[in-house]
Amino acid sequence: MAGGRFITLEGGEGVGKSTQVRRLAVALRERGYDVVTTREPGGSPGAEEIRQVLITGGGERWSPVTEALLLFAARRDHLERTIWPALERGAWVISDRFADSTLAYQGHGHELNQDIIIRLYANVIGKFYPDLTLVLDLPVEAGLARVHARGAADRYEEMDIAFHRRLRQGFLDIAAHDPRRCVVIDASEPEEAVAAGILETVGRRLLAGGP
């Protein structure tokens, strides 16, 4: 879409995505870019309502198929009302999660047949993909320790350790299969170092020539 770029940050629980979304947005605004930050599930009024349905309740509240359907319903609303309009006007959109999270959480974590997710993507989203996906990687135990240190956990954060290990491997597999779009960032480094690595990657991949 004319002038705009779509960047997504992905990864398991506690990797620091929200913090790095904010830092990257500040860095890009300082360089003169119009930047919109958003998140999934959520990012539009309707999608935020679906988010509350998804993250509350017990771990077994929804089947993996139901979760995937809810996520793609929220994602379509997010695209129509937030992401696509921003890109059309030339803004850069940075999203805390996008469709890779569905493939990782439901496809790898919950072991849902990944063909279902791939078909949902094709029918709901089509051929639209992020320009760059930054996969923040952190050992599972370290990420969950961060989650528990900050207080109450949501239903995904409370999944068992085997789920989170499958989840981490899922994100790494996604990155390995699409290296033109995805870059793995070591999230075990200090916050400043992670931010510097992200900005360097964005500059190398997308910023040539400036705004």
Q: Looking at residue 62, what is its pLDDT?
A: 83
pLDDT of residue 59: 62
pLDDT of residue 1: 41
Q: What is the pLDDT of residue 60?
A: 73
CA-wise closest residue to 9 among 128, 157, 137: 137
Are 26 and 202 contacting, i.e. CB atoms less than 8 angstroms apart?
A: no
As given in the structure block, the two tokens for residue 157 are 């954060």
How far is residue 181 CA from its own chain's centroid? Answer: 13
Q: Are 185 and 194 in contact (CB under 8 A)?
A: yes
Q: Are 99 and 125 in contact (CB under 8 A)?
A: yes
Question: 5-206 has which CATH code?
Answer: 3.40.50.300
> Cα torsion for 148, 158, 93, 28, to the nearest 10°?
20
Residue 42: which region, alpha, beta or left (left: phi > 0; alpha: psi -120 to 50)?
left
pLDDT along the chain (211 residues), means of 10: 85 94 98 97 96 80 91 98 97 98 95 96 97 97 86 72 94 97 97 97 82 50
